[in-house]
Amino acid sequence: MIRLAELALQTEDEAAAVPIVSAAARRAGTNPRLWQWTGLLHRALDDRVAALQAFTKAATLAPYDPSIAHGLARTQLEAGLSAVGAFETAHRIAPLDGDVLLGLAAARLADGDASRACAGLDVFIRKHPGWIAGHYSLARLCWMTGDDLGFVRSLESALSKSPRDPALWKALIDLLIKAGQYERALSTIAQARYAMGDAVFLIANEALALSEIGRCAAADTSFALLADTDDVNIVVHQVRHLLRTGRVEPARDIIERWTASPDFAPLWPYASLAWRLCDDPRWGWLQGAETLVSVVDISAQLPSLERLATILRQMHTARGEQLDQSVRGGTQTDGILLARTDPEIISLRTAIVAATRAHIARLPARDARHPTLRARRDRAPRFSGSWSVRLTGAGRHANHVHPAGWLSSALYIGVPPTHDDDPHAGWLTLGTPQAELSLDLPATRCIEPKPGRLVIFPSTMWHGTLPVASGERLTVAFDVKEPV
């Protein structure tokens, strides 16, 4: 039964395995491992109610098992329940498990206790300064609470004791770049070179930062040292630099050399820009088909939008924007929104799944070369992320793409009133690249936000919003995983 469950998780065939494994768990009665696997299968299917029942049974039978305690706590958190006590139990059982500590911090944040979430991570990091995942989590939490200067303090402290540790330098520079603090990143790169000598990641981040702040000649020099790289992330920034500086054909040439690579995925959004700028017909093949985008009204399938808005507002507990996200002038919820067990969220998820199925059925014919059309279509939609965004004042989404998704979305729950002086305020734009790329490309499509309206589009497609003049814009968004 355990081998069956493991294989089902690997092949995403949990729906076939869960009745068999759960029946075996009931027959065995007192086998905690079978109840744990039943919980894991239900959790993979986004059925947190059944998963909680199974994990609770497993924890009753094996109260000191670390993986079962962690699974129960994680499922409670994802379900939208208070999980601090469950994570504290798991932490007592496995005090050195970093994943449990990260979960405990997330649970405290979900309960509105960001200061304690930060303090708990900080205490552990002081004892274990090489814990990179902890540094990242603490930095993101500090950023969300408005500490845009001291958010990397833990890494700076760790480096004062281990100045030759490349992993610590890499994390520090990466976080500064994610925060858009490029001058500070360049200063840190100079410090790293003094402490440990040069390294490829220092050259690459230096080139990136120089390009982003407009020091193009210096960026050219750094990128020239990376001309033979096989790291697609470095290539992405080379292409960004060339596009930003008006060298579209050299950017397209680099993209052409990478088209056959299995690592090409991060380059699709930039291929769309290069092809469009060059009037290459492949842009039409990539993003021109109308049925790649759906605009549907699902308000009749949703619970009361007012009630849904009330629930979502209660989840917007952060004081500031998340690090390295597109929200400007608003907040984004943490955690997996569509995993929650609130009746309204369950109804919301049901409506979204049905609309996503219908969108997939309307897609153009399968094409093995196309990042959206290559996927199989006989699987139920699965989500790689789901969240809510609340914009106020002049809030907006900066133009961006979703590298972790196959399909992306915007579902409007509440929109501000329109004004004659700015009738397009808050509209969704498709096809306009990041402002930082300085490309004169208008939107290929603009979509008016309306309560209950759902827009689904390829995750490789650039999208953003026009600022709202005033009022509140409340949305739900999700990424659909590419089926395997």
What CATH number does the domain containing 116 carry?
A: 1.25.40.10
Same domain, 345 and 451: yes
- pLDDT, tens digit, for every residue of 398-428? 899 999 999 999 999 999 877 767 778 889 9
Please tell me whether residues 132 and 14 are part of one structural domain: yes
Structure confidence at residue 61 (pLDDT): 98
- Per-residue pLDDT averaged across 269-277, rounded? 98
Q: What is the mean pLDDT of residues 333-342?
A: 94
Question: Do 277 and 328 lie in a common domain?
Answer: no
Do residue 162 and residue 229 come from a single domain? Answer: no
**CATH code, domain carrying 394:** 2.60.120.620
Chain mean pLDDT for the chain: 95
- Give residue 358's pLDDT band: very low, low, confident or very high (50, 70, 90): very high
Please name which of 478, 484, 333, 462 lies closest in space to residue 407, comparing C-alpha atoms: 478
> Is the C-alpha dihedral spanning 371, 372, 375, 379 positive or negative?
positive
Kindly report, residue by residue over 302-331, the tens digit of the pLDDT. Answer: 999 999 999 999 998 776 777 877 778 788
Mean pLDDT value across residues 242-271:
96
- Same domain assignment for residues 153 and 273: no
306 and 238 in a common domain = no
Please, are residues 108 and 84 in contact by the beta-carbon 8 Å criterion? yes
Last residue of a domain, one of 169, 186, 215: 215
- Residue 273 CB partners (closer than 8 Å, separation 6+): 243, 433, 437, 439, 441, 462
Q: Which residues contact 131 (CB under 8 A, 6 or more apart)?
A: 98, 124, 125
Per residue in 204-229, pLDDT (tens digit) is 999 999 999 999 999 999 999 999 99
Among residues 193, 215, 237, the one where a domain terminates is 215
Same domain, 347 and 457: yes
Give the pLDDT confidence score for residue 420 in this predicted structure.
64
CA-to-CA distance for 172 and 150, rounded, in angstroms? 12
Q: Are residues 204 and 312 in the same domain?
A: no
Q: Bridge-partner residues for 428, per DSSP?
A: 447, 465
173 and 243 inside one domain: no
Contact 424, 446 (CB under 8 A): yes
Domain boundary among 281, 300, 327: 281
Domain encompassing residue 235? 216-281
Query: Please, what is the angle between helix 216-224 and helix 200-212, to 10°?
Result: 160
Whether 249 and 349 share a structural domain: no
Q: Measured at the alpha carbon of residue 19, what is the angle toward residues 18 and 24, in degrees to the nearest 5?
A: 95
* Total number of domains in the chain: 3
Q: pTM surpassing 0.85? A: yes
* Same domain as 341, residue 205: no
Query: Do 86 and 189 fall within a single domain?
Result: yes
Where are the extended beta strands (E) located within 230-353? 294-297, 327-332
Length of the chain: 484
